[in-house]
Structure 1
Amino acid sequence: MNECLPIYIFGEVLFDCFADSEPLLGGAPFNVAWHLQAFGVNPRFISAVGDDDGGRLILQKMQQWQMATDSVAVDPLHETGRVQITLQDGEPSYEFVLDTAYDHIEPKNLSMPIGEHLFYHGTLAARCSTSRESLGQLRDWPGQKAFIDVNLRDPWWELEWILAEVHGAHCVKLNRQELILLSQVEETQEDIEWLQELARNFRLANNIANLIVTLGADGAFLVYEMGQIITHSLPPQTATVVDTVGAGDAFSSIVMLGMLHNWQWETVLERAQQFAGFIVTQQGAVSDNPAIYGDFKCLWGMI
């Protein structure tokens, strides 16, 4: 792949609502698109917002961040998405409002790309039929390398659909618990060797080219090609964790950035963890400070 490769991102944009602060911009696909824009990529973000104050604010923030908004539909019938987030020891639980604008995404101003392109989506936005059907149409584009970021949010996921969606994907990212749930194992073990073997079997059974499993404080590992594994552990944490909302999205954005720049997988995992490690030191999933992204670009020799 190369940095000129077209990149499309499909899914929810919403407001993360915390008990003790103003609502913050969020939604896994939106977070990924926001980060990539800050790192010099211009992704096409495909979503929908309501014809309300929240929707107008989202479009305004995107424009200020120099993100293209022409593939974000304004839905006059459904409100902009929201999720109530409750934190316990820094770990979030989510309560999503149902039947919002991102449940009714109908792509607009899109033409089918010619040749190879990278396509990112999660799993939450497919919980309702309209967005699921739209996603299915986009996934049929030829020349596509699909990056699927599994986000199992109860009760908004179906095992059969997710297994069908990840089958044959170029890259799938999930966490430890999601791997166990999708593998449908009756007995679980704690040791990393067992988890890596489970990942090998899941990758093979679903014909996935690259499978990434994130382990929180224990780092992450990748299974690729003939079952080879690359591991990376997090360095000792020196900063205070505020919350982990958006950490996985930060990780995914750097994985995609690495794909575009042809980084070695060892480098991809290291840098993805570095950036995710920063995101957990602030409240919310994204930063609107360009200097932060500039610091990482300097660190990684991108400028």
Structure 2
Amino acid sequence: MYNNNKIIVGMGEALWDVLPEGKKLGGAPANFAYHVSQFGLNSRVVSAVGEDKLGTEILDNFRQKHLQGLIETVPYPTGTVQVELDSEGVPCYDIKEGVAWDNIPYTDELDKLAQQTQAVCFGSLAQRSIVSRKTIARFLDTMPDTPETLKIFDINLRQSFYTKEILCDSFKRCNILKINDEELVTVSRLFGYPGIDLQDKCWILLAKYNLKMLILTCGVNGSYVFTPGHVSFFETPTVQVADTVGAGDSFTAAFTAAIICGRSVREAHQLAVDTSAYVCTQQGAMPLLPESLTSRLA
């Protein structure tokens, strides 16, 4: 059963996705934390914004969405991402550098939060700068060392904002890895992993880094959850896609919430698939989820 004293954290970038129809609140950690909260769990987003209008608007939006956070204000511009969608609604990103979320400080308040955190989701993008990279690593190292603690590395490779060293360190610090099929090819090339079959590569990663689980998403070709000695597979539902922005984050959030609530891997996987499929039918990364989904963890 979920212990409400424990907290689920999305940590890293907070920014504006500048889409063709206007700007929308974005960043994987905020998307993750928001969807976790929709399932009734105690979530936080950890990031930083600038001393500017865009930063104030992010904080206002978080309040409107009842999304709790530990958001520091730092002397750098608030992050923005130019998002262009192709004919199938798949996003391409132009991520601005030298922004607030590159400079998340490690504070006493953040240290206290780490000690109360049961699950955290982090990615590679926010580790492109040394300041945020050190903050994320310190947070992970400060979390309770228990069998129930989940450290989810949702790899989220973007542009050229990652290195082999950053990925290797993150693999070692996490106990759940979430990766898509394209990212798996990139990682295999970087690390020189053998095997033509994607599943072989997943088994290698699972064993090498002693992971609890490895989640592999393959777009329209379905998704897998690998655990030692077992694999779960679901086909991707056919839906009318509005855009896919934030769909992967909603998958991770639903899966994490279900595991924290004591559901089986198979049940968590099903909820994750259904949640991300719904998000694909909506515009933007943070749509309100229907009760038909959120009530499944009630």
When normalised by structure 1's length, the TM-score is 0.89
Instruction: Tell me the equivalent position of 2:206.
Output: 203
Following TM superposition, where does structure 1 have runs of at least 4 consecutive aligned residues deviating by more than 4 angstroms?
A: 112-116, 185-189
Q: How does 1:89-238 map to 2 (within 5 A)?
A: 89=87, 90-108=89-107, 109-110=109-110, 111=112, 113-114=114-115, 117-141=118-142, 142-143=144-145, 144-167=149-172, 169-184=174-189, 185=192, 189=196, 194-225=197-228, 227-235=229-237, 237=238
Q: How does 1:22-41 map to 2 (within 5 A)?
A: 22-41=22-41
Give, as a single letter, the amino acid of the residue that structure 2 aligns with 1:137: R
Q: For residues 3 and 241 of structure 1, do their structure 2 counterparts lie closer, same or farther at Cα, with a shift above 3 Å needed?
A: farther
Is contact 2:178–2:214 with CA below 8 Å preserved after alignment?
Answer: yes
Distance 1:249 1:114 in 2: 24
Residue by residue, what CA displacement relative to the aligned partner does 1:60-93 show, whole Å, maximum 9, x if unpaired?
A: 1111222224x10111x21111001111121111
Q: How does 1:208-287 map to 2 (within 5 A)?
A: 208-225=211-228, 227-235=229-237, 237=238, 239-287=239-287
Distance 2:63 2:106 in 1: 19
Is contact 1:220–1:233 with CA below 8 Å preserved after alignment?
Answer: yes
1:115 to partner: Cα distance? 7.1
1:116 to partner: Cα distance? 7.0
1:183 to partner: Cα distance? 2.0
1:16 to partner: Cα distance? 0.5
- Residue 263 of structure 2 aligns to a residue whose secondary structure is coil
Comparing 255-264 with 114-123, which one deviates more in the overlay?
Answer: 114-123
Give, as a single letter, the amino acid of the residue that structure 2 aligns with 1:259: I
Give, as a single letter, the amino acid of the residue that structure 2 aligns with 1:258: A
Is contact 1:15–1:26 with CA below 8 Å preserved after alignment?
Answer: yes
Distance 2:63 2:117 in 1: 27
Q: For residues 74 and 207 of structure 1, do their structure 2 counterparts lie closer, same or farther at Cα, with a shift above 3 Å needed?
A: same
Distance 2:283 2:181 in 1: 24
Is contact 2:114–2:139 with CA below 8 Å preserved after alignment?
Answer: no
When normalised by structure 2's length, the TM-score is 0.90
Is contact 2:155–2:178 with CA below 8 Å preserved after alignment?
Answer: yes
C-alpha root-mean-square deviation of aligned residues, in Å?
1.9
1:160 to partner: Cα distance? 2.0
Percent of pairs identical after alignment?
28
Is contact 1:146–1:171 with CA below 8 Å preserved after alignment?
Answer: yes
Residue by residue, what CA displacement relative to the aligned partner does 1:123-178 show, whole Å, maximum 9, x if unpaired?
A: 10110111011111111114243111011112101122112211252211000111
Give, as a single letter, the amino acid of the residue that structure 2 aligns with 1:35: H
Q: For residues 139 and 264 of structure 1, do their structure 2 counterparts lie closer, same or farther at Cα, with a shift above 3 Å needed?
A: same
- Residue 291 of structure 2 aligns to a residue whose secondary structure is helix
Unaligned runs of 5+ in 1: none
1:97 to partner: Cα distance? 0.4
Is contact 1:127–1:156 with CA below 8 Å preserved after alignment?
Answer: yes
Alignment coverage as a number of residue pairs:
288
Instruction: Tell me the equivalent position of 1:73.
Output: 72
Unaligned runs of 5+ in 2: none
Is contact 1:47–1:107 with CA below 8 Å preserved after alignment?
Answer: no
Give, as a single letter, the amino acid of the residue that structure 2 aligns with 1:126: Q
